Amino acid sequence: MESLLCNEVWLMSPNAALNAHENVGGCNGRGHVDSSSLFSTKEDREEVFGIFLDKEASYMPELGYLKLLNSNNFIHNARSKGVYWLIKSQRRMNLSPGTAFIAVNYLDRFISMTKCQGWKYWMFELLCIACLSVASKFNETTTRSLHEFQEEGLDHSFSSSSIQRMELTLLKELRWRMDSTTPFSYIHLLIQTIDHAINKTLVQDFTNRIIELLLNATLDTKFLEFQPSVITMSAIRCIFEDLFRSTNNVSLSHLDTLIPQNQEDDLMKCEKMMGKLLVQDHNMLACGNCWDDPSSPVTVLKVERKVL
């Protein structure tokens, strides 16, 4: 599975080398930024940004996905619980934040394509494990056992063969197009565009706060209507204004020029929503719900959880 996944990714991804350059040069896997080792010129950054813009639309959920979530409470709740579990698992396993964003992208695209009609909660648990497992194979340098993904936060424990079958189902449904462009893809690129306006000692805190805000945004389905580039730019602007108490910085004005004209209204709308999210309680990730569907197939082993 691992070698097959790697071969498919490199064959279908013309920008794989570009992504590898970004991951190696700009991030140590835990979100640490060394922007001096990334793209050194304004022209380089604008070219890469354009490549990501061209890619991002083809890695978004299908049209009508937000309508599906808003009209089906069961799928909406299952998606919310799944995203919460993915983020908590990323933190528990000390995976790159980028892995969580990729896994959420896989989850949203899969649900939007299949509609998951007639599914039970245990099926979404299995799907989430597969999403995180495949994302970690794509994005991490260390392979994790399938058991590690199931150590916390699930009501069911699945056999390795069940997870591997779901991984293959996921890969086929997404047509082996796993090199997703997510909000995380833009973070280091855009920060480097404005890092001359930020005290070097604050760059890491600035980055961490952006990542945290973007993770919170993945839990809010309203942000699914926006392109990843718009979401990230909105988060950067909100954190910059909050951290430095500045709204008229020339660096932020330059960011605006990167967004296509036809997305300017979306940027304004998204930034307003992101600002509201920023002032909300930042303990969103500490209040997840348990998965509570009692039914499961014979191949699923029920795990008893202690109630503390």
State pLDDT tens for residues 92-120.
Answer: 999 999 999 999 999 999 999 999 999 99
> Could you tell me the pLDDT band of residue 199, with boundaries at 50, 70 and 90?
confident
Under the banding of pLDDT at 50, 70 and 90, the label for residue 38 is low
Would the pLDDT of 249 be above 70?
Answer: no
Give the chain's domain count. Answer: 1
CA 281 vs. chain centroid, Å, equals 21
pTM greater than the 0.95 cutoff: no
- Mean pLDDT for all residues in the chain: 81
Is residue 51 within 8 A of residue 18, CB to CB? The reply is: yes
Q: Which of 139-143, 197-201, 303-307 has the highest mean pLDDT?
A: 139-143
- The torsion angle over the Cα atoms of residues 146, 150, 155 and 159, rounded to 10 degrees, is 20
DSSP-derived secondary structure for 37-86: GS--SHHHHHHHHHHHHHHHGGGSPPTTHHHHHHH-HHHHHHHHHHHHHH
* Residue ranges making up the domain that contains 188: 1-29+38-308
Using CA atoms, how far apart are residues 134 and 130, in angstroms rounded to an integer? Answer: 6
Mean pLDDT of 45-49: 86
Q: Residue 34: pLDDT above 70?
A: no
For the ranges 7-11, 95-99, 222-226, 257-261, the lowest mean pLDDT is seen at: 7-11
Give me the helices (H) in the chain, please. Answer: 2-12, 16-26, 42-56, 65-71, 73-92, 97-114, 121-139, 160-173, 183-194, 203-218, 228-244, 250-258, 264-279
Q: Give dist(CA 171, CA 2) in Å, integer.
A: 12
Q: What percent of the chain has pLDDT over 90?
A: 60
Q: What is the pLDDT of residues 109-156, one digit of tens each?
A: 999 999 999 999 999 999 999 999 999 999 999 989 999 999 999 999
Q: Between residues 276 and 44, which one has the greater pLDDT?
A: 276
How far is it, in rounded angstroms, from Cα 22 to Cα 18? Answer: 6
Would you say residue 15 has pLDDT above 80? no
Higher-confidence residue: 199 or 203? 203
